[in-house]
């Protein structure tokens, strides 16, 4: 604990051992809205102000950090596979972009007219591979069936003020010149991201997209709706994961042929050209297994759900600019520093704009 480290004698505020909240270290990191990557740690979420505020989740005792307003968990609820079918790549692309943009709320504090999709360019390897596969399908005549399941475990919210900054981040800000030197201020955004996370929903989701050959589908006895219905039928899951019930679909005999086809590797002449799976949250073992199967089994979904409990990812986030962390409590020239950081953020985002070097 940061406020108890290095002391010769520490009186333990907690009489019993307490765990850290799941994902608390990632929640303390800055995030770049240019690529959605987590960067350096900006908040000290291991600072407890010498107090012990116990919080029980099931039978596990957790200690609430000073920076947190609340960390609430979902001990009951359900999540189902939702199914959508898309006649073309353009329909699929439009839907997924709109969905992504709804998952992140970004505050700038100033108008930037050229920003359209900042914060939604998922550069992580898993999203890059997915995009490559989907874009290859765009050059052909394809239809798409997408199944998605979401398991939300917790909601996280920071205090609105009196936040404790991480010592290294605090020192970096204090070492900045009072005069505006763009290069030095820009480096802060490169090292720590542009924003910090004020609210988040934690958990995991699993997205499974089947890429169909539209021409072969038209010549078969099946329609796109048949594929969507049979995919739903194949996802017959009934598992209880830490009190969260998972359910989806019913088995139907008329779907056996299609389900057998989707359950095997793609063969020559098959209407299923490929599939794309993306997993957020969970253990490496369950993630690897989900990525290697056409349709998941109930047992595999149960294994994944248990892993999400201990290794959650962000489902939805709300962010604010880093410069809002500058207050009079921590900085003697806070007004100047905040003004310079705000200008640097505007310049930094303008520098990244694709229209900067040529007319749009």
- Tell me the helices (H) and strands (E) count for the chain, helix number first: 11, 14
Which pLDDT score is estimated for 55?
Answer: 75
Distances (CA, A) of 39 to 20, 164, 189, 192, 193: 21, 18, 9, 5, 6
Q: Which of 317, 296, 268, 309 is nearest to 155 (CA)?
A: 317
Separation CA 310–CA 252 (nearest Å): 35
Sort 311 into a burial class: Cβ within 10 Å, 0-12 / 13-18 / 19+: middle
Separation CA 332–CA 6 (nearest Å): 27
CA torsion, ordered 343, 186, 198, 61, to nearest 10 deg:
-150
DSSP lists the bridge partners of residue 39 as: none
Separation CA 149–CA 207 (nearest Å): 7
Phi/psi region, residue 162 (left: phi>0; alpha: psi -120 to 50; beta: rest), is left
Which pLDDT score is estimated for 354?
Answer: 60
pLDDT tens digit sequence for 27-43 = 899 999 888 889 999 99
Separation CA 287–CA 278 (nearest Å): 9
Which pLDDT score is estimated for 24?
Answer: 84
Distance of CA 324 to the CA centre of its chain: 23
Q: Which of 204, 206, 207, 170 is nearest to 313 (CA)?
A: 204
Q: Which two tokens stand for residue 88?
A: 């073309």
Which pLDDT score is estimated for 357?
Answer: 53
Backbone angles phi, psi at 328, to 5 degrees: -65, -20
Which pLDDT score is estimated for 4?
Answer: 57
pLDDT tens digit sequence for 107-143 = 444 443 333 333 333 345 555 556 666 666 665 688 8
Which pLDDT score is estimated for 181?
Answer: 97
DSSP notation for 213-281:
EHHHHHHSS--HHHHHHHHHHH--EEEEETTEEEEE----GGGHHHHHHHHS---TT-SEEEEEEEEES
Q: Model's pTM, two decimal places?
A: 0.74
Separation CA 231–CA 148 (nearest Å): 11
DSSP H helical segments within 34-139, as ranges?
89-102, 125-138
Please identify every stretch of the chain with a pLDDT value under 50, giving residue numbers as ranges: 76-78, 107-123, 237-253, 264-269
Which pLDDT score is estimated for 248?
Answer: 39
Separation CA 81–CA 43 (nearest Å): 36
């Amino acid at each position: 604990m940061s406020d108890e480290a290095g002391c010769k004698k520490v009186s333990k505020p907690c009489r019993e051992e307490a765990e850290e909240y799941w994902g608390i270290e990632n929640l303390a990191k800055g995030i770049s809205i240019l690529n959605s990557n987590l960067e350096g740690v900006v908040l000290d979420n291991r600072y407890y102000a010498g107090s012990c505020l116990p919080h029980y989740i099931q039978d596990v005792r957790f200690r609430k950090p000073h920076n947190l307003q609340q960390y609430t968990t979902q001990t009951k609820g359900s999540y189902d596979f939702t199914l959508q079918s898309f006649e073309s790549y353009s329909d699929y692309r439009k839907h997924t972009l709109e969905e992504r943009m709804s998952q992140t709320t970004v505050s700038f504090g100033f108008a930037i007219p050229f920003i359209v999709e900042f914060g939604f360019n998922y550069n992580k390897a898993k999203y890059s591979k997915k995009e490559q596969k989907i874009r290859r399908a765009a050059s052909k005549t394809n239809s798409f069936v997408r199944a998605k399941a979401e398991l939300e475990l917790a909601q996280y919210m920071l205090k609105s003020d009196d936040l404790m900054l991480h010592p290294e981040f605090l020192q970096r800000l204090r070492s900045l010149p009072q005069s505006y030197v763009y290069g030095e201020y820009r480096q802060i955004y490169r090292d720590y991201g542009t924003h910090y996370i004020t609210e988040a929903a934690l958990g995991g989701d699993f997205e499974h997209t089947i890429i169909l050959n539209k021409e072969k589908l038209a010549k078969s006895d099946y329609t796109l709706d048949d594929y969507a219905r049979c995919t739903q039928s194949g996802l017959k899951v009934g598992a209880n994961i830490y009190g969260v019930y998972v359910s989806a679909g019913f088995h139907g005999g008329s779907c056996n042929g299609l389900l057998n086809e989707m359950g095997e590797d793609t063969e020559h002449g098959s209407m299923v050209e490929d599939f794309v799976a993306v997993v957020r949250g969970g253990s490496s073992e369950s993630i690897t297994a989900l990525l290697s199967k056409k349709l998941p089994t109930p047992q595999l979904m149960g294994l994944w759900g248990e892993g999400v409990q201990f290794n959650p990812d962000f489902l939805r986030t709300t962010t604010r600019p880093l410069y809002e962390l500058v207050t009079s409590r921590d900085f003697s020239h806070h007004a100047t520093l905040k003004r310079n950081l705000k200008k640097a953020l505007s310049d930094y985002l303008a520098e990244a704009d694709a229209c900067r070097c040529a007319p749009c």
